[in-house]
Amino acid sequence: MHPSLAELLRLLELERLEINLFRGVSRDIGSPQVFGGQVLGQGLRAAYGTVEPDRVAHSLHAYFLRRGDFNAPIVYFVDRSRDGASFTSRRVTAIQHGEQIFHMSASFQVSQPGVEHQIAMPDVPPPESLRESDPVPKAALEAMPEKTRRLYASARPFEFRMVERADPTHPVNMPPLQHIWMRAIDRLPDDDVLHRCLLAYVSDFYLLTTATLPHLEQLMSGKRFLASIDHAMWLHWPMRVDEWYLCSYDSPNAAGSRGFSRGSIFTRDGRLVASTAQEGLVRIGGAAAG
């Protein structure tokens, strides 16, 4: 397996400290804090550690409360809120340095038949017709501070191919809409729990930035700060993250220094397998955190 993907899988292998208590480590990718998708994926993995194996996660709702410190372990406490005949509910709290940095509610369900419908998948070019998306051009990368350069230049466990491409060296305001093909860079085990946790992890990529697209000229002209406030996901069907899937993102609103984005996630054959939504801080020239 590719080393960067193997490292990500190790991040999702939590140490069980007690019946409802788990500990995870972080990876310093050059960002000022722990990547939100990592905490989301680890939190879901911790919840799965307290659930019967015949139940699958179908929804989660999370809030990011404080910046995570990648130099310290993260302890996850799972509250077994309810174990019903069909549904299981869990609440996960992530703690560092004696303070909550994240909490999440997750729901699990026994597989059951029922009515079915879905929206149509957008008509976009296939991933083979698109080149892999580089985070920033080489010239811009060389001009960055060393730590920021490491963030963008490090090997990524997922590859991304964007249908709509912005030029970061010449930012131009764009409609708040993105279509991005994604997949893991190597084959993964046949483990539905792992694929759901990895989908939670990677769903934090590019979702919030959709809300910045109509304001790129202003954002790139001065000091700016972006940070996730909350994140929600609904997992409709099993899927594999090591096969191409399409993320269709849009941002219907930005207001009050917050941007709101939502997404539909489709397999290559057009099945809607997940939906997601996120609100985050989008500040220009102001304080970094609130």
92's CB contacts (< 8 A; 6+ apart) are 43, 44, 46, 47, 76, 77, 78, 79, 102, 103, 104, 105, 106
| C-alpha angle 208-261-264 in degrees, rounded to nearest 5 | 110
Which of these is catalytic: 42, 203, 261, 278?
Answer: 278
Instruction: Give the integer Cα–Cα distance in Å for 117 and 272.
Output: 9
Q: What angle do CA 177, 282, 169 make, to 5 degrees?
A: 65
Q: Is 204 a catalytic residue?
A: yes
The two tokens of residue 160 are: 């991304």
278 catalytic? Reply is: yes
Task: Output the six-digit token pair for 43.
Answer: 């939190």
Tokens linked to 223: 């000091």
Catalytic site residue from 26, 42, 203, 204 = 204
Helix or strand (DSSP H, E) at 57: strand 55-64
Those residues with Cβ within 8 angstroms of residue 85's Cβ, 6 or more apart along the chain or in another chain: 110
**257: annotated active-site residue:** no
Which listed residue (38, 96, 203, 228) is catalytic? 228
Burial of 1 (0-12, 13-18, 19+ CB in 10 A): middle
Q: Which residues are catalytic?
A: 204, 228, 278
